[in-house]
Amino acid sequence: MPIEIRQPLSSAHMEITQAQRDVRETFVGGFAGQLVSAVLWFISAAACTWKSFFLGELILVLGGVLIFPLTQLVLRAMGHAYALPKGHPMNALGMQVAFTLPLTLPLVLAIAMLRPSWFYPALMITLGAHYLPFIFMYGMWQFGALSGLLIGFGLAVGFYIPRPVSLGAWLTAALLFGFALIGREVAAHDSPGRGGSRITL
């Protein structure tokens, strides 16, 4: 009868910790992605405020497709790795997380058709839920705070502050920008000069 040799828990914990550190270093603690997202939300908020609500919606829905390639472009411009190595244990989770927001978009659009003022709040709530797995993937509790704030503000704006309709977009843009800076600072502690390791492709 074959004997199953199990990996020690301490060793498994070390592998998870290293994988999370790899994600933080590669994506700069989520800095590039959240910066790109913040700019998109700012543009949508401005369009909604000074042009039309429909234009604001359109910018956010169509522009969302460009977030990932623009994030990679920003990382390259920073002279940074732009993806995890092939076979990295977090690649599969990253792919699954990437699809959560687009798959919930039809529900957000359906809600907006019934009540247009709920478009931004609904998207804030789904975006907040989208960030929950990032807590494990990056090993950063800060994503839990971002998720909670997005969901909380989304509920508050949707139920209690429906006007102006662009309020949710402005709040989301500000939160994403703020947490982009926080993520960059967290990732800085994993830099080679502070005892971490850097991934290069």
Q: Tell me: the pLDDT tens digits for 98-151? A: 889 999 999 999 999 999 999 999 999 999 999 999 999 999 999 999 999 999
* Helix orientation angle between 31-50 and 53-63, rounded to the nearest 10 degrees: 160
* Overall domain count for the chain: 1
- Give me the mean pLDDT over the 82-86 stretch: 84
In a domain, 41, yes or no: yes
Alpha carbons 152 and 168: distance in angstroms, whole number: 11
In a domain, 98, yes or no: yes
Summarize pLDDT for 152-181 with one digit per residue, the tens: 999 999 999 988 999 999 999 999 999 999
Q: Which domain holds residue 111?
A: 23-191
In a domain, 111, yes or no: yes
What's residue 194's pLDDT?
Answer: 45
Q: Is pLDDT above 90 for 60? A: yes
Exposed (0-12), middle (13-18) or buried (19+): which is 113, by Cβ within 10 Å?
exposed
Summarize pLDDT for 27-44 with one digit per residue, the tens: 999 999 999 999 999 999
Closest among 130, 99, 120 to 173, alpha carbons compared: 120
Residues comprising the chain, all counted: 201
Single-letter residue type at 15: E
In a domain, 167, yes or no: yes
In a domain, 153, yes or no: yes
In a domain, 3, yes or no: no
The predicted model scores a pTM of 0.86
In a domain, 46, yes or no: yes
Number of H helices, E strands in the chain: 9, 0
In a domain, 198, yes or no: no
